[in-house]
Structure 1
Amino acid sequence: MAQKSLKTLAARNARTLNRTHLISLAIHLTYLLTRTFLFPRKPLPYALCSFPALGIEYWFERIGRPTHTESGEVKRAGEDLEAKGLTEWMWDVLYWTWGVVVLVVVLGDWCWWGWGVVPVYSAFAAWRTYSGVRGGMGGLMGAGGEGGGSGGGQQQQSKRQAKMEKRGGQPQQKVVR
């Protein structure tokens, strides 16, 4: 059964990479032909905005392209190109770059400013992640006395703990198995 999942992943990765390369080729070729024959466009913004996307595409090719043995068996299926996290973010950058290039072809050079959304969104996502981690560790920092807990270093009780102490009983500890 494991070989079947490898074959499925390898086929899906190969289809995804082939489709990605064809779309990228069509978009960039359209831009270059439009720039050459119809409207003069600035080459520097194109280079600055397209090279990260082309680098991402190259990276996907390196990690995702399946390799086969001489007999046709899957030797390595490649990494999952539908993975969450960084891979998903890289796809977003690639799609956004394609959209900006198409807008530049249709509307003009001022659309290169649309690519500035990528670093702004990245900074926002990094801040949100940092804030979530910091918020999640708030209780740990307060318990150690280092994180600026309130009440002169005492731990703050939950409502349940306060009720149990008020009744005179100790709350039972949960056993983690």
Structure 2
Amino acid sequence: MAQKAAKSLAARNASTLNRTHLIALVLHTIYLLLHFTFNRPRSLKPYFLLAGPTLLIEFYLERLGRPRYTDDGNLRTPGEDLGATGLTEYMWDVIYWTWGCMVSVCLFNDRVWWLWVVVPLYSVWLAYTTFTGMRSGFAGMGGGSEQAAGAAGGESKRQKKLEKRGGQKVQYR
């Protein structure tokens, strides 16, 4: 049963990578043809600066997710799951966003490359939300508001109720 899952993952990865390479080839060819055919006052600097990392990401995903076979045709490794969440998902987002920017630049002009600024801003937002989520997760491990307030001399609601009923007062050392 595990071999079946590995084979389906290998087939899915191979088709995803082939489709990705084909779309990238078509988009880059169209962009370069339009650049050299119409000879608009386009600079290739933004293209190389912004599409270059996408090509590096694409080749990294190729290396990561391409299934490997033995000499006799058996599946050796299916590759990593290209549909995984986390960093892999972020890399796909960067690829898709760059493709959208390339299509927009082909249709309009080079100023549309400024849309690519959204990618670093999105990265900063993800890092911030991850950090604040981790910080609130650590709050229950001793840095929480009730425990910290109790240790500093304040009392929690539970302690106040116990004292109101005549229970013993909690002493801190």
Q: Normalization by structure 2: what TM-score?
A: 0.86
Q: How many residues are matched?
A: 166
Match of 1:157 in 2: 156
Match of 2:65 in 1: 64
What does 1:130-169 align with in structure 2 at a 5 Å threshold? 130-142=131-143, 149-150=148-149, 153-154=152-153, 157=156, 163=161, 166-167=164-165
CA contact (8 A) 2:66 2:79 kept: yes
Structure 2 gap ranges (5+): 169-173
Query: How far apart in 2 are the matches of 1:52 and 1:11?
Result: 26
CA contact (8 A) 1:50 1:97 kept: yes
Match of 1:73 in 2: 74
1:7 partner letter? K
Instruction: State the 1:135 CA deviation.
Output: 1.6
Instruction: State the 1:137 CA deviation.
Output: 1.4
Instruction: State the 1:8 CA deviation.
Output: 0.4
% identical aligned pairs: 51
Instruction: State the 1:2 CA deviation.
Output: 0.8
Match of 2:38 in 1: 38
CA contact (8 A) 1:142 1:155 kept: no
Query: How far apart in 1 are the matches of 2:86 and 2:6?
Result: 22
Structure 1 gap ranges (5+): 171-177
Q: How big is each residue's C-alpha offset from its partner over 1:113-171, in whole Å with a ceiling of 9 and x where there is no partner?
A: 0000000010011001101111221232436xxxx933552575365x6546655679x
CA contact (8 A) 1:81 1:87 kept: yes
Query: How far apart in 1 are the matches of 2:139 and 2:19?
Result: 46
SS at match of 1:75: strand
Alpha-carbon RMSD across the aligned residues, in angstroms, is 2.4
